[in-house]
Amino acid sequence: MDYDVDQGIAVPAAYLDWRPMQGKFRISACAAYYNNVLDLKATPDPMAVYQIGNGSYPGSAIGTLNGNVSHHTGAPYLGFGWDFFPRQGKIGFSLDAGAFYRNRPDVRLTATGAVTPGDLLLEAENIKGDESKVHPLVSLGAAFRF
101-132 residue pLDDT tens: 888 889 999 999 989 999 999 989 988 887 77
Cβ proximity of 40 and 65 under 8 Å: yes
Position 1 pLDDT exceeds 80: no
Cβ proximity of 51 and 62 under 8 Å: no
**CA atoms of 78 and 136, how far apart (whole Å):** 10
Cβ proximity of 54 and 24 under 8 Å: no
Position 72 pLDDT exceeds 90: no
**CA atoms of 68 and 73, how far apart (whole Å):** 16
**CA atoms of 136 and 131, how far apart (whole Å):** 13
**CA atoms of 67 and 6, how far apart (whole Å):** 11
**Predicted confidence band of residue 12 (pLDDT cuts 50, 70, 90):** confident
